[in-house]
Structure 1
Amino acid sequence: MMNRRQLLGAGAAGGAALVSTGAWSKTANMGLPEAAVMDSPATQAPSAPATGAPYNPVVTLNGWTLPFRMNNGVKEFHLVAEPVERALADDMTAYLWGYNGQSIGPTIEAVEGDRVRVFVTNKLPEHTSVHWHGLILPSGMDGVGGLSHPGIPPGKTYVYEFDLVKSGTFMYHPHADEMVQMAMGMMGFFIVHPRDSAFMPVDRDFLIMLNAFDIDPGSYVPKIMTMTDFNLWTWNSRIFPSIDPLVVSKNDRVRVRVGNLTMTNHPIHMHGYDFEVTCTDGGWVRPEARWPEVTIDIPVGAMRAYEFDAVHVGDWAIHCHKSHHTMNAMGHDVPTFIGVDKSAVTRKIRLLQPEFMPMGSTGMAEMAEMSMPLPDNTVPMMAGWGPHGPLEMGGMFSVVKVREGISAGDYSDPGWYENPPGTQAWEWTGELPDFSRASGPGTDVPSSGSSARSSGHDGHSGHK
């Protein structure tokens, strides 16, 4: 369910300015479908379509799906390109450009064989367009401003109309002043479900869009000229610990679709499972061509989907494996102080600034444990707490939470997993084997079975 819908009203933008092509029916005199608006950054639960062919809806982490209406057999959607305020985290808001009140924009869902009509109203201060990334459609509908059709001027509405000839995972984004508009957050998913609902069925279907921003601490608007040195790496324009978990019931078949519209590749790694790569933005991967992974690299401008059977209960990390991409507000000119004795200089600085905290001499983990003063509208570099202490993460990170008995439509956070006795790492307080005695590869290592564990352990003789 959505938090609110804001009706622009039938015909509120006047007659639709038509993209010039003879491949579709004229719609200029039709009233516009409502333009739904979302003002919450929380993941919205999926809802099955009320009309049209049935499908299992997707779940956009910290996002939502755009409603449609049926009009003489055509599915009609209304996208509004506009400035938006997006909560990248609970304590940080960015002034972005997006669609229907959000960045990323709402997910569009339809079915293979559908004819869709998308009204695009431009409320930006400059012209725009929408490119339907990966979809097969007429040239005049491809959304490259100046090539496919004129750019959509501010205050005008254009119409895109085409048949969905293949199923899969696709994206949408501007192809007009693309560097600026994408750097400002304009992008979204376009999901085309298979016509045959028995083809590639899953129980839970998650969407993650990889995007990035360069926003100075204390400011609100992204820098648009950045090429590689972004400081906020996001999923669906959210940063951990404000990214919702992927909640799964044990034995569910799960699909995770990941699209990349950043300026670099991202190796997405999931703990606790191996999985099969089943789809790219080019189409479904035949069963005999699928390959097993625990990390799948997502190239720039591409999508990869993978699937697994949720047989292992627990809390399992999922993240980009580029270590700087799981940090917030990265400062690229921060010097390394590991091994530096700061005690003398600290005493002097505290004469002028008593609250001064020396950091970095033993690493950066202390930044996740201490609450340091930060400029307004700035998130700490490392944040988030788990059941056993600080997670020291940020950016592109979340948790796959697999539990017994979660209802089919339930995506609420079940809390932290409690490891059963004997299945959690513990402190060793017994005698350590003397590995220095080993003289060759065939030397037996002394058994540790007779050594004591810490007194706080549950006393089990072993663990799995």
Structure 2
Amino acid sequence: MMNRRQLLGAGATVVGAAAWTKTSAMGLPDAPIMESASTQSPLVPTSGPDYQPVVTLNGWTLPHKMNNGVKEFHLVAEPVEREMADGMTAYLWGYNGQSPGPTIEAVEGDRVRIFVTNKLPEHTTIHWHGMILPCGMDGVAGLTQPAIPAGKTFVYEFDLVKSGTFMYHPHGDEMVQMAMGMMGFFVIHPKDPQFMRVDRDFVFLLNAYDIDPGSYLPRVMEMTDFNMWCWNSRIFPDIDPLVVSRNDRVRVRVGNLTMTNHPIHMHGYDFEVTCTDGGWVKPEARWPEVSIDIPVGAMRAYEFNAVHEGDWAIHCHKSHHTMNAMGHDVPTFIGAEKSRVTSMIRRLQPDYMPMGTRGMADMAEMSMPLPDNTIPMMTGWGQFGAIEMGGMFSVVKVREGIASDDYSDPGDYEHPPGTVAYEWTGDLPAASSTTGAKTQAPAKPAPEPAAGHGGHD
């Protein structure tokens, strides 16, 4: 497995905080390479139809060049090192220096030409998942094209006939190559700049790996027992927040290339499902949700109006998918008396700490010795203490007055006085302690516009 320095070579140059380099050969368009694992600023269009560019969570958008009216892109399939979180790196396969690869953005009606250079140790292809195109451009090795041999460059060229959210991934040795992280987003914006326009547009892929603590390579043959549940090959607490300004119209596009479905739940809002991998959902057919299940191999997009300020959790609602590497064979010790066995173990291992007798929350607050290249099962800290999460978890941060081009973390939310849950230190109210007592419901405040139903309908 080659590292990034070997792959880039001694002549690579790093440009600014984005940390990407350009390579070119024999007239091919540049192939930018991203080394940073942080969310990059959106790539604002400078020509052609206007559109609101997407923001790839912990990722970036691939630049293109125009050649006689055709948008040209250059993807390089190669081994990469992906920082999954601070203190943990995975040796994956990806595109242009990262896994997932860069997001490709274009406009409905564009003709695109995509050069794919294969720097993997085996052949590959690219399938343009969900897109309408000529059969010979569909990217299925052996069926629609010969596989791209190691060291060779192939060209895909087709017209973008519909707008929406799509994905790309190999269709050659797919079991290994997708398990190694080869995937990316392809966003086609509507030709009409005002159709389905939003103020902020986020995209991320759901992916999963089985990486033993202390190791770097995923187990590519694993089918069910994963221990790294990721968004764009990142795990909490190092998944960047989704930062929006109050009253923004926000779209979140989520694609699933794992082996199981994921119910994505967002706190503080209800939202409308406005797009699937099959296309836009007509207004009369949209439905309200607070959780949306993303099937395997599918994409869902939802929208809401950011009217409620705060730090709102967003996560997969399968509880084991908000944990990091862990032992799946650990017995349940809740209620067990472990003081005697603890005393015996400490004679051999003085630092031994018993866990599990009262649940596992203690793990989030302890600084336990860990193997190299892994992070705790539960981790992350907020202004009120341990967050006790991992894996597929992040935060939607809604603030007043965020600039339209600002996606930086605004820090902790300053709660207005009287709006944080607190400890009750007095006696219970008499009515609450009396059997059969009736309590009067508080008067209902005037309803606010439902998220996803105001301002843009």
Q: TM-score, normalised by structure 2?
A: 0.91
Which of the numbers 62, 78, 83 marks the counterpart of 1:82?
78
- Preserved CA contact (<8 Å) 2:37 2:59: yes
Task: Please tell me whether residue 9 in structure 1 is matched to residue 6 in structure 2.
Answer: no
Alignment of 1:295-314 (within 5 A): 295-314=291-310
After superposition, the C-alpha distances for 1:168-216 in whole angstroms (9 at most, x for unaligned) are 0000000000000000000000000000001001000000100000000
Q: Secondary structure at the match of 1:346?
A: helix
SS at match of 2:251: strand
Equivalent residue in structure 2 for 1:277, among 270, 273, 280: 273
Tell me, yes or no, if the aligned pair for 1:359 and 1:366 is still in contact at 8 Å.
yes
CA contact (8 A) 2:77 2:94 kept: yes
Q: Give yes or no for the alignment of 1:62 onto 2:62.
A: no
1:214 to 206, 210, 215: 210
Contact conserved, 1:5 with 1:35, CA < 8 A, in 2? no
Q: Is the 8 A contact 2:135 2:144 kept in 1?
A: yes
Shift of residue 320, structure 1, vs aligned partner: 0.2
Contact 1:268–1:298 (Cα < 8 Å) also in 2: yes
Give 1:10 shift.
3.2
- What residue number does 2:87 align with? 91
Cα shift at 1:55: 1.4
In structure 1, what is the equivalent of residue 113 of structure 2? 117
2:319 equivalent in structure 1: 323
Residue identity in the other structure for 2:438: D
Number of matched residues? Answer: 426
Counterparts of 2:183 and 2:106, CA distance in 1: 18
1:107 aligns with 2:103: yes
Alignment of 1:215-294 (within 5 A): 215-294=211-290
Tell me the distance in 2 between the aligned counterparts of 1:98 and 1:401: 29
- Answer yes or no: is the 8 Å Cα contact 1:232–1:330 preserved in 2: no
Please name the residue that 1:172 is paired with: 168
1:447 deviates by 11
Q: CA deviation at 1:438?
A: 1.7
CA distance in 2: counterparts of 1:103 and 1:310, whole angstroms: 30
Question: For residues 53 and 143 of structure 1, what CA distance do their matches in structure 2 show?
Answer: 28
Q: Is the radius of gyration larger for structure 1 or structure 2?
A: 1
Distance 1:59 1:216 in 2: 31
Assess, with a 3 A threshold, how the Cα gap between structure 1 residues 345 and 405 changes in structure 2: closer, same or farther: same
Q: Is the 8 A contact 1:130 1:143 kept in 2?
A: yes
Determine if contact 1:54/1:197 at 8 Å carries over to the other structure.
Answer: yes
Distance 1:2 1:383 in 2: 27
Cα drift, residue 6 of structure 1: 2.7
Answer with 392-401 or 41-50: which moved more: 41-50
String of CA shifts for 1:203-236, please: whole Å, max 9, x gaps. 0000010000000010000001111110000000
Q: Which runs of 5+ in 1 are unaligned?
A: 12-30, 449-464
Aligned partners of 1:33, 1:86: CA distance in 2, in Å?
25
Deviation at 1:47? 2.5
Report if the CA contact (8 A) 2:49-2:193 is conserved.
Answer: no
CA distance in 1 between counterparts of 2:52 and 2:118 reads 31
Quote the Cα distance in structure 1 between the aligned partners of 2:326 and 2:196: 40
- Choose the corresponding residue for 2:199, options 192, 198, 203: 203
Which of 109, 117, 125 is equivalent to 1:129?
125
Asked if 2 retains the 8 angstrom alpha-carbon contact of 1:120 and 1:158, the reply is yes
Contact 2:20-2:35 at 8 Å conserved across structures:
no
State the 1:444 CA deviation: 1.8
CA displacement at 1:9 relative to structure 2? 1.8
Residue 451 of structure 1 is matched in structure 2 by: none
- The aligned counterpart of 1:403 is 399
SS in 2 for 1:350: helix
- The residue number in structure 2 matching 1:438 is 435
Residue 53 of structure 1: how far off its partner (Å): 2.3
Quick one: distance in 1 between partners of 2:425 and 2:438? 22
Closer, same or farther in 2 for the Cα pair 1:300/1:7, shift >3 Å?
Answer: same
1:277 positional shift: 0.2
* CA offset digits 1:314-367 (Å, max 9, x no partner): 000000000000000032111111111110001111111110000010000010
In the aligned structure 2, how far is the partner of 1:151 from the partner of 1:446? 70
Q: Which residue of 2 aligns with 1:73?
A: 69
1:385-396 paired onto structure 2 within 5 Å: 385-396=381-392
Question: Do the aligned residues in 1 keep the contact of 2:272 with 2:288 (CA within 8 Å)?
Answer: yes
Match of 2:47 in 1: 51
Deviation at 1:418, TM superposition (A): 1.3
What is residue 24 of structure 1 aligned with on the other side?
none
| Structure 1 stretches of 4+ moved >3 Å | 433-437, 445-448
SS at match of 2:253: strand
TM-score (norm 1): 0.90
- State the AA in 2 paired with 1:174: P
